Amino acid sequence: MKSLLYLLVLVIAIVSCQKEDVAKDIVYPVLMEIPQGFPNIIQPKDNEYNQDRWLLGKRLFYDKVMSKDSSLSCASCHNSAMAFSDDLNFSAGTSGNFTTMNAPTLTNVAYQPYYTSAGGVATLEMHVLVPIQEHVEFDFNILLIADRMRSDATYVSMAQKAYGRIPDPFVITRALACFERSLISGNSDYDKYYFQSDPNALSKEAKKGMDLFFSNRTNCSDCHGGFNFTNYTFENNGLYQEYENVGRYKLTGNDDDIALFKVPTLRNIAYTGPYMHDGSLNTLEDVLNHYNSGGKDHLHKSELIRPLGLSTQEKNELKAFLVSLSDHTFITNPIFKSL
């Protein structure tokens, strides 16, 4: 009997150690830690990161107080498990409405030089005003959100600690930006291979795909270059001959901007489908087939979009590389989960 009991204890101990070893392999970066190879994040002087501001921003991000009918939060369209995007073509808004753009990932949003798909907002602090006022999104008023928050003693206390003032538009815009600025992702297999010098982090297939990605044959990196795999320009990739959504033209009124859309980051792309500005391509295979075909003719189609002549094997290699840009520790990091 004693021998059996000893054996049971030994098995439990071994299993516990194995679980601890697995846990040690999962590395969750601390808040605002800059990954190797990434530039520093520029923070506004009136909204530099601190824990009180971050906690307030996180609470607001997940709170349905933001929408007119209290049915939606920022997280409704930006799900942490999907790299802060969602899996719909168009996200649901208030009162049965739907948005007109596929929800983008908030991965490394701190590094963007401007916001919205048309580039019409200059700072992360000001970006939240767009979904708040859009009738197909929150359909609300930031002053009324502040009124709701002032009736909540916890929000009043948190705002005072974070910014030394009661909830108001300044507090709302700054706190949300402080939280979103912390959504830093730089621990993908590609990062481990390229920035952290781990030669075994990428498979042979992914390495071949990387060579294709950065080659003159595909020119993928001309638009999706740099540490964040985007140059933030506005391009047309030949998705349609005629576009229902006029893209950047809606902002500028310049005919040269018709059907141009901001080039998105490819980081965490394995988690952010469906793809394109309207979510019309469901899989990475669909995306690769589109680019391999050269796209459809359009007056503003980028000259980089042309038939590539990739074989099935080469497309699989490219897919393997794209998947390697996805950071599992980012989407599973418990600190970013709902309260």
Among candidate residues 184, 215, 236, the one where a domain is terminated: 184
150 has a pLDDT exceeding 50? yes
In a shared domain, residues 168 and 193: no
Measured CA distances, 88 to 76, 121, 280 (Å) = 11, 24, 10
CB atoms inside a 10 Å sphere around CB 165: 11
Residue 236 within any structural domain of the chain: yes
In a shared domain, residues 64 and 174: yes
CB atoms inside a 10 Å sphere around CB 197: 9
Among candidate residues 184, 212, 236, the one where a domain is terminated: 184
Q: Tens digits of per-residue pLDDT, 288-339?
A: 999 999 999 999 999 999 999 999 999 999 999 999 999 999 999 999 998 6
Please tell me the total number of residues recorded for the chain in this structure.
Answer: 339
Task: Name beta bridge partners: 11.
Answer: none
Can you tell me the distance from the alpha carbon of 20 to that of 218, in angstroms, rounded to the nearest whole number?
A: 43
Among candidate residues 165, 184, 203, the one where a domain is terminated: 184
20 has a pLDDT exceeding 70? no
Kindly tell me the sign of the dihedral angle through the C-alpha atoms of 219, 222, 226, 231: negative
Once rounded to an integer, what is the mean pLDDT over residues 111-128? 96
In a shared domain, residues 147 and 211: no
What residue numbers bound the domain in which 177 lies? 45-184
The CATH number that applies at residue 166 is: 1.10.760.10
Q: How many folded domains does the chain comprise?
A: 2
Q: For 26-36, b where at least 16 C-beta lie within 10 A, e where not — what string? A: eeebebbeebe
In a shared domain, residues 166 and 233: no
- Per-residue pLDDT, 25: 61
Chain center to CA of 30: 18
Can you tell me the distance from the alpha carbon of 188 to that of 192, in angstroms, rounded to the nearest whole number?
A: 6
In a shared domain, residues 112 and 204: no
Q: Which of 35, 25, 24, 31 is nearest to 195 (CA)?
A: 35
In a shared domain, residues 138 and 49: yes
